[in-house]
Amino acid sequence: MTYTTPMQPVNAKPSIREAWDRIAPAFDEFMTPQSVRFGEEVLRRADIGPGVKFLDVAAGSGALSIPAARLGAEVLATDISPVMIECLTARAHSEGMANLEARVMDGCALDLPDGVFDVVASQHGVSLFPDVLAGLAELRRVTKPGGQAIVVAFGRLQKAEFIGFFMGAIRAAVPQAPALPVDPPPLPFQLADPEVFRGKLSEAGFAEVAVETVSWDMQIESAASLWKTAASSNPIGAGMAAGLTDDQRTDALQVLTGMLRERAAGRPVAELKTEINIGTARKL
């Protein structure tokens, strides 16, 4: 058996939009619940409450938007994927959130006036842009003077255990499957170095820049749950999963079951840690 999916970079904006549209329903079902819980922790770094104008760029289906709206902020969520926006809107409606608006928008060319938001944020969004500096500069442009930016990005690829377990299981079942590149790493890891991250925020014009490295602890109940989460987390993961035959997927899931059982050590869930960088800054 051979591994069939070519590892093609997703560069053109229509391709990016289509790639995220394809995985959006699964992303919303499996990834967003984990991401919202982490987003709640992220937002503790900002003064968010009623009356605060909050912008979430490349919002997915609401990892930051939903918890910000729960805190009473006036939230605008944007994403390049119409299907992601549909999923986010459905989440907001299910909670009766009249204070959350979701709109399709390109994060590198926001259709918004200058200096209107108290807090601008992006969790694993702007950090995935091929032109990350352009995305950060747009965040600064629409921030009020004195306003705050919060940007969340993956840390080191080697410290992303949910990806490592997923890839490890695939390559154990299909040794010829390609490994993820490390030099340079995939776009989600382009801000893994805190010094690079700080430099990009400063280059975009922000001040009072800081980057904190924390751990995102994911509670994984089963191999099937982790598989669905990793395969829907990004078009890269989706492509890796789609390249397997049914037999290869079955073999990989068996390997993954053993890996998680060993990590759980008799507990009902396995905890997988992922290194995350949280950048904070202000517009002076």
CATH label of the domain that carries residue 175: 3.40.50.150
Q: Cα(214)–Cα(211) distance, rounded to whole angstroms?
A: 10
Give residue 180's domain range: 13-282
Both tokens of 197, joined, read 């991250």
For residue 4, tell me if it sits in a domain. Answer: no
Q: What is the pLDDT of residue 13?
A: 61
Q: What is the pLDDT of residue 215?
A: 97
Closest CA to 276 of 42, 66, 23, 63: 42
For residue 6, tell me if it sits in a domain. Answer: no
| Burial tier of 125 (Cβ tally within 10 Å: 0-12, 13-18, 19+) | buried
For residue 1, tell me if it sits in a domain. Answer: no
One DSSP character per residue, the chain reads -----------SHHHHHHHHHHHHHHIIIIIHHHHHHHHHHHGGGS---TT-EEEESS-TTTTTHHHHHHTT-EEEEEES-HHHHHHHHHHHHHTT-TTEEEEE--TTS-SS-SS-EEEEEEESSGGG-TTHHHHHHHHHHTEEEEEEEEEEEE--GGGBHHHHHHHHHHHHH-TTSPPPP-SSPPGGGTT-SHHHHHHHHHHTT-EEEEEEEEEEEEEE--HHHHHHHHHHSSHHHHHHHHTS-HHHHHHHHHHHHHHHHHHHTTSSSEEEEEEEEEEEEE--
Partners of 150 in the β-ladder: 121, 280
Q: What is the pLDDT along the chain (284 residues), one digit of tens a residue?
A: 222 222 333 334 668 899 999 999 999 999 999 999 999 999 999 999 999 999 999 999 999 999 999 999 999 999 999 999 999 999 999 999 999 999 999 999 999 999 999 999 999 999 999 999 999 999 999 999 999 999 999 999 999 999 999 999 999 999 999 888 888 889 999 999 999 999 999 999 999 999 999 999 999 999 999 999 999 999 999 999 999 999 999 999 999 999 999 999 999 999 999 999 999 999 99
Q: Cα(104)–Cα(58) distance, rounded to whole angstroms?
A: 9
For residue 79, tell me if it sits in a domain. Answer: yes
For residue 7, tell me if it sits in a domain. Answer: no
User: How many domains would you assign to the chain?
Assistant: 1
Predicted TM-score of the model (pTM): 0.92
For residue 92, tell me if it sits in a domain. Answer: yes
Cα-based distances in Å from 24 to 72, 84, 108, 171, 231: 26, 5, 20, 26, 11
Q: What b-and-e string marks burial along 225-256, b requiring 16 or more CB atoms within 10 Å of the CB?
A: bbbbbbbbbbbbbbbbbebbeeebbebbbebb
Q: Cα(255)–Cα(20) distance, rounded to whole angstroms?
A: 28
Q: What is the pLDDT of residue 7?
A: 30
